[in-house]
Amino acid sequence: MYSTDRRERTQIQQLTSFVKAWSQIDPATAPFLGTWTAWEETKSIYPSSVKGRVCIIDGFIPNENNIGFRFGQGTVSNGRIKTDSYILIHQGNYLGGVFVYNNEPGIYEYAWPKPLKNPAELMRRVPQSDRHRNHILEQFQNAGCTASRPNRR
């Protein structure tokens, strides 16, 4: 994993402001929010309208069977995100994806979160698979996910 922060100052400020706003609504999920980068993958972690839940769009290298994006949800508990297939742990500017594959434990490292993009913008580079992209966008919307700041009431 690269150890140098390559984010622009405006990206850091934008994400910090977004996380701070969401920490007023759901302090458990707020530290995880953002688009986290690894060597060949990203995890875009979005807030949900359900307290303690996050929405995750995994980005990875596409192949003939997929467009390189997958939607999922996770539940935050005890400072971790638990999904159906992995657990995410967070410390500072690092995120670890803990998993078991072929009966072997592993951890995949992500770092330096950037501001979230609207999912449609995030997946705009995959026009050849509108049906799959639209399905992810529908799942995102149905789960009460957002890329926006919380509404002030």
Domain contains 136? yes
What CATH number should be reported for the domain holding residue 18?
2.40.128
In the chain (153 residues long), the average pLDDT of successive 10-residue segments reads 80 97 97 95 96 96 81 96 95 94 93 95 73 91 96 64
d(CA 43, CA 11): 16
* Domain assignment present for 149: no
Number of domains in the chain: 1
Assigned domain for 147 exists: no
For residue 104, being part of any structural domain is answered with: yes
User: What's the pLDDT score for residue 127?
Assistant: 54
Residue whose C-alpha is closest to residue 54's, from 146, 121, 137, 153 = 146
Tell whether 26 is covered by a domain. Answer: yes
How many Å from the N-terminal Cα to the C-terminal Cα in the chain? 41
Q: Are 89 and 111 in contact (CB under 8 A)?
A: no
Which tokens hold the place of 117? Answer: 């993009």
Q: What was the pLDDT predicted at 135?
A: 92
The pLDDT score that the predictor gives to residue 25 is 96
What predicted TM-score, i.e. pTM, was given to this entire model?
0.92
Residue 4: inside a domain: no
Domain that holds residue 45: 9-142
Domain annotation covers residue 27: yes
Q: In this predicted structure, what is the pLDDT of residue 124?
A: 77
